[in-house]
Amino acid sequence: MKPYEGEMLLDLEQMKWDSAGLIPAVVQDVNGEVLMVAYMNREALAETLETGFATYYSRSRQTMWRKGESSGHRQRVLEVRVDCDLDCLVLKVEQMGGACHTGYYSCFYRVIKDGKIGVVEETVFDAETVYTK
């Protein structure tokens, strides 16, 4: 089956936004590493597609979140994938700096082992320096 043909071609309006108008977005780098999961509203997705850089909606701050605006750790979006239920996205990105506000490259720097949660990565930047500029 080839892309963009016949009945399989859908409009963005057919995506299933949740009751808060949001959709989760898994963010993955060019090597396949999962960096973070964030949320988008229609405006964030539109801005992401228009600018080519990831913009999310911050649920905690209740505002648009232009990733990297203060840290410089932007995400150039290479591809946006949509799932079978039209209620989830995967963004393939080129990550500048680190994705996580704690200084790690990925937010998923911990693993579960023997019933405990432990850190298995090294930080790639100093979060205190980057976020107090």
Question: Radius of gyration of the chain from Cα atoms?
Answer: 16
CA atoms within 13 A on the CB side of 31: 5
The residues that touch its own copies, with contacts defined as CB under 8 A, are: 1-5, 8-12, 14-15, 24, 26, 28, 31-34, 36-37, 49, 79-86, 88, 90, 100-102, 104, 107-113, 115-123
Count CB-CB contacts under 10 A for residue 96: 15
Least separation in angstroms between CB 114 and its own copies = 9
φ/ψ bin of 68: left (φ > 0), alpha (ψ from -120 to 50), beta (otherwise): left
Cβ–Cβ < 8 Å for 85, 16: yes
Least separation in angstroms between CB 121 and its own copies = 8
Q: Toward its own copies, which CB reaches closer, 12 or 131?
A: 12
Least separation in angstroms between CB 130 and its own copies = 15
Q: Toward its own copies, which CB reaches closer, 64 or 124?
A: 124
